Amino acid sequence: MNIFRLTGDLSHLAAIIILLLKIWKSRSCAGISGKSQVLFALVFTTRYLDLLTSFISLYNTTMKVIYIGCSYATVYLIYMKLKATYDGNHDTFRVEFLIVPVGGLAFLVNHDFSPLEILWTFSIYLESVAILPQLFMISKTGEAETITTHYLFFLGLYRALYLINWIWRFYFEGFFDMIAIVAGVVQTILYCDFFYLYVTKVLKGKKLSLPA
Among 60, 85, 141, 146, binds another protein (CB under 8 A): 60
Select the span of 60-68, 144-152, 190-198, 203-211 touching another protein (CB under 8 A).
60-68
Helices (H), 77-145: 96-108, 115-129, 132-141
Kindly state whether residue 180 participates in binding another protein, applying the rule CB under 8 A: yes
Contacting another protein within 12-51 (CB under 8 A): 12, 47, 50
CB of 196 to another protein, least distance (A): 27
Kindly state whether residue 116 participates in binding another protein, applying the rule CB under 8 A: yes
Q: Give yes or no for a contact between 120 and 47, defined as CB atoms under 8 angstroms apart.
A: yes
Cα 160 to the center of its chain, rounded Å: 12
Q: Which amino acid is at 205?
A: G
CB nearer another protein, residue 28 or residue 60:
60
**Which residues, 6 or more positions from 111, have their beta carbon under 8 angstroms from its beta carbon?**
117, 121, 179
Select the span of 71-79, 92-100, 114-122, 201-209 touching another protein (CB under 8 A).
114-122
Q: Give yes or no for a contact between 168 and 4, defined as CB atoms under 8 angstroms apart.
A: yes
CA distance 14 to 150: 10
Per rule CB under 8 A, count of chain residues that contact another protein = 21
CA distance 91 to 31: 9
Kindly state whether residue 72 participates in binding another protein, applying the rule CB under 8 A: no
Given the rule CB under 8 A, which residues bind another protein? 5, 9, 12, 47, 50, 53-54, 56, 60, 63-64, 67, 111-112, 116-117, 120, 162, 165, 177, 180
